[in-house]
Amino acid sequence: MASSSGNDDDLTIPRAAINKMIKETLPNVRVANDARELVVNCCTEFIHLISSEANEICNKSEKKTISPEHVIQALESLGFGSYISEVKEVLQECKTVALKRRKASSRLENLGI
């Protein structure tokens, strides 16, 4: 995806994160550096595609904040419907973790910490 601002380096996934995912997914496989770079570029492009579509859906809904529902609708409209069940599972996990953090934070506040 060509960027009009020319600062694509600011908008990429950290290589360390990609390397970790590759190692976890394919522990016994060596992956060339140019293949790793290609994976980073593909992931970045995918995120740009989904976020742009989610933004359009958000604007059509006359909302100002992209919600998880907008992202799910974007996945569906772009032909990635097979990912939706897994996305919903991850969303639920994130909500659970966030709730636990809020509870822990409020307990510390109640203790005066």
Q: Please tell me whether residues 90 and 43 are part of one structural domain.
A: no
Q: Please tell me whether residues 48 and 87 are part of one structural domain.
A: no
pLDDT range class, residue 8, cuts 50, 70, 90: very low
As a whole number of angstroms, the distance between CA 27 and CA 23 comes to 5
As a whole number of angstroms, the distance between CA 113 and CA 96 comes to 23
Instruction: Let me know if residue 74 belongs to a domain.
Output: no
Q: Please tell me whether residues 86 and 59 are part of one structural domain.
A: no
Q: Please tell me whether residues 16 and 49 are part of one structural domain.
A: yes
> Total structural domains in the chain?
2
pTM (predicted TM-score): 0.74
Number of residues in the chain: 113
- DSSP states along the chain: ---SSS-GGGGS--HHHHHHHHHHH-TT----HHHHHHHHHHHHHHHHHHHHHHHHHHHHTT-SS--HHHHHHHHHHTT-GGGHHHHHHHHHHHHHHHHHHHHHHHHHHHTT-
Share of the chain above pLDDT 90, in %: 74
Q: Please tell me whether residues 55 and 27 are part of one structural domain.
A: yes
Instruction: Let me know if residue 20 belongs to a domain.
Output: yes
Q: Please tell me whether residues 54 and 10 are part of one structural domain.
A: yes
Domain limits for position 106: 79-112
CATH number, domain with residue 35: 1.10.20.10
pLDDT range class, residue 102, cuts 50, 70, 90: confident
pLDDT digits (tens, 9 = 90+) for 70-84: 999 999 999 999 999
Q: Please tell me whether residues 60 and 90 are part of one structural domain.
A: no
